[in-house]
């Protein structure tokens, strides 16, 4: 459904965000009626917010499918026995599980990540080298019992993410896919409108590879510190910022700029760390058994939405990129004369007929100033205004969210511009 009358939208804009909400992303999203705060670190996606997430999801899905990803949906309730195989059921090892008791005895946990779940499933289906490689991914809610949850939807106790896991026959095959994943990730951030601010950043690789790669978006609200070489667009996370690493990457310390950033995605080589505990092996051409080589590739979708709001807003509100805006255009009807109402409804009908995603501010009893303020807060890419003045001047006033002033266009021109 690419249309909506604002008079029918149950969520209302607000002048103030909750007093305990200090993050700009959550403040603007709550005030605009995109999300509702249930409690610290837990947010409900309202209709407008869900439209944004669905668009981000489709961009991510398209990129994952392009590199051979197969979408599935792993369960949120996780079996204790599966996670005991890697020791990650132990609270000493993982301190942010949400766990619960089953009525008939036994304990289960709510997904906090997916490596074990996927390895356990693949174990049932992979036997031969002919069964590999496999690239499986899912979108799901993830639960983390964080001690304190701040930064709005950038760090939640419940959040929505995409995780892909690669299962390969060899290090070489793994590396080939890993390089494709880098490009897919860059495409995602480009398409959601923050590519120009996002750097692929060298980070700690853990036990199985020298480096992992994070995708870090520059913003003063960031939790991470990175060092950027602006000439080459290479960045290094503070955790691996050593002379040895810089030499390894051919970077000169004096050319690096220290910046704050938000991590919007990461990719890891996992080696056999999660295939060994599950005895996830395949027989090669010579009938010899080998452990499967794995990688993991994650993006938090709600976090990505919050990052877009952090970096692409102004003092009036949100500025959605066209690719993920809930609607392409907001139509405002100003004044309550029959003439204006009739004309605004005609324009709305024409936009629907042309299959243009439109939200129509048809609310009565509001001042012009209030309608304009709401429009800026909601941040659709385009705003069209029907008023006594615009009718007198022969059309509709059209402006982009990023422009100060609009211009008068005919209905045909409006449709043509938006098409």
Half-sphere exposure of 376 (CA within 13 A, CB side): 15
Domains in the chain: ranges and CATH: 3-314 (3.30.930.10), 329-418 (3.40.50.800)
Provide DSSP, 72-125: ----SEEEHHHHHTTTTTSTTT----EEEE-TTS-EEEE-S--HHHHHHHHHTT
CA pair distance 179, 243, nearest whole angstrom: 25
Contact (Cβ atoms closer than 8 angstroms) between residue 253 and residue 260: no
CA pair distance 319, 364, nearest whole angstrom: 25
Residue 205 is encoded by which pair of tokens?
Answer: 């690789």
Give strand pairing partners of 35.
Answer: 45
Quick one: DSSP state of residue 397?
E
Give exposure, 158-167, as e/b (b: 16+ Cβ within 10 Å).
bbbbbbbbbb
CA pair distance 230, 143, nearest whole angstrom: 36
Contact (Cβ atoms closer than 8 angstroms) between residue 166 and residue 177: yes
Instruction: Say which residue the tokens 């701040």 belong to.
Output: 150
Contact (Cβ atoms closer than 8 angstroms) between residue 242 and residue 257: no
Integer-rounded Cα Rg, in Å, for the chain is: 25
pLDDT given at position 40? 87
Query: Is 37 in a helix, a strand, or coil?
Result: strand
Alpha helices in 201-337 (DSSP H): 243-248, 301-311
Q: Judge residue 322's burial from the number of C-beta atoms within 10 Å of its C-beta, 0-12 exposed, 13-18 middle, 19 or more buried.
A: middle
CA pair distance 414, 384, nearest whole angstrom: 8
Instruction: Give the strand pairing for 198-204 and 158-168.
Output: unpaired
pLDDT (tens place) for every residue of the chain, 419 residues total: 667 899 899 888 988 877 888 889 999 999 999 999 998 889 999 999 999 999 999 999 999 999 999 999 999 999 999 999 999 999 999 999 999 999 999 999 999 999 999 999 999 999 999 999 999 999 999 999 988 777 788 888 999 999 999 999 999 999 999 999 999 999 999 999 999 999 999 999 877 788 999 999 999 989 899 999 998 889 999 999 999 999 999 999 999 999 999 999 999 999 999 999 999 999 999 999 999 999 999 999 999 999 999 999 999 999 999 999 999 999 999 988 999 999 999 999 999 999 999 999 999 989 999 999 999 999 999 999 999 999 999 899 999 999 999 999 999 999 999 98
């Amino acid at each position: 459904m690419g249309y909506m009358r604002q008079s029918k939208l149950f969520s209302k804009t607000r002048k103030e965000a909750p007093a305990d909400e200090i993050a700009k992303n959550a403040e603007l999203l709550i005030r605009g009626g995109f999300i509702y705060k249930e409690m610290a670190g837990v947010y409900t996606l309202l209709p407008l917010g869900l439209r944004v997430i669905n668009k981000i999801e489709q961009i991510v899905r398209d990129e994952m499918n392009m590199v051979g990803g197969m979408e599935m949906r792993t369960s949120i309730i996780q079996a204790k026995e599966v996670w005991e195989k890697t020791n990650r059921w132990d609270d000493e090892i993982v301190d942010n599980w949400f766990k619960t008791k089953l009525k008939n005895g036994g304990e289960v946990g709510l997904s906090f990540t997916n490596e074990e779940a996927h390895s356990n499933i693949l174990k049932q289906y992979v036997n031969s080298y002919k069964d590999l490689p496999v690239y499986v991914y899912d979108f799901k809610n993830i639960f983390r019992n964080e001690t304190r949850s701040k930064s709005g939807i950038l760090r939640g106790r419940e959040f929505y993410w995409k995780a892909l896991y690669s299962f390969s026959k060899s290090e070489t095959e793994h590396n080939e896919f890993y390089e494709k994943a880098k490009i897919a990730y860059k495409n995602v951030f480009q398409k959601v409108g923050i590519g120009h601010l996002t750097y692929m950043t060298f980070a700690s690789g853990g036990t199985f590879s020298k480096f992992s790669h994070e995708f870090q978006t520059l913003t003063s609200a960031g939790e991470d510190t990175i060092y950027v070489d602006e000439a080459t667009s290479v960045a290094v996370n503070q955790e691996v910022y050593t002379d040895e690493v810089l030499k390894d990457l051919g970077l000169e310390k004096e050319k690096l700029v220290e910046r704050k950033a938000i991590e919007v995605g990461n990719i890891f080589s996992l080696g056999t760390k999660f295939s060994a505990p599950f005895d996830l092996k395949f027989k090669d051409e010579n009938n010899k058994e080998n452990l499967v080589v794995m990688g993991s590739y994650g993006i938090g979708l709600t976090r990505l939405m919050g990052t877009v709001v952090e970096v692409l807003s102004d003092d009036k509100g949100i500025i959605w990129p066209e690719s993920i805006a809930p609607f392409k255009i907001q139509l405002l009807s100003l004044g309550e004369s029959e003439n204006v109402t009739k004309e605004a409804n005609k324009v709305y009908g024409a936009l629907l007929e042309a299959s243009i995603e439109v939200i129509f501010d048809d609310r009565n009893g509001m001042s012009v100033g209030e309608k304009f303020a709401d429009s800026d807060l909601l941040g659709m890419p385009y705003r069209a205004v029907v008023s006594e003045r615009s009718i007198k001047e022969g059309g509709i006033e059209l402006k982009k969210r990023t422009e100060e002033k609009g211009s008068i266009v005919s209905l045909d021109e409006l449709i043509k511009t938006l098409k």
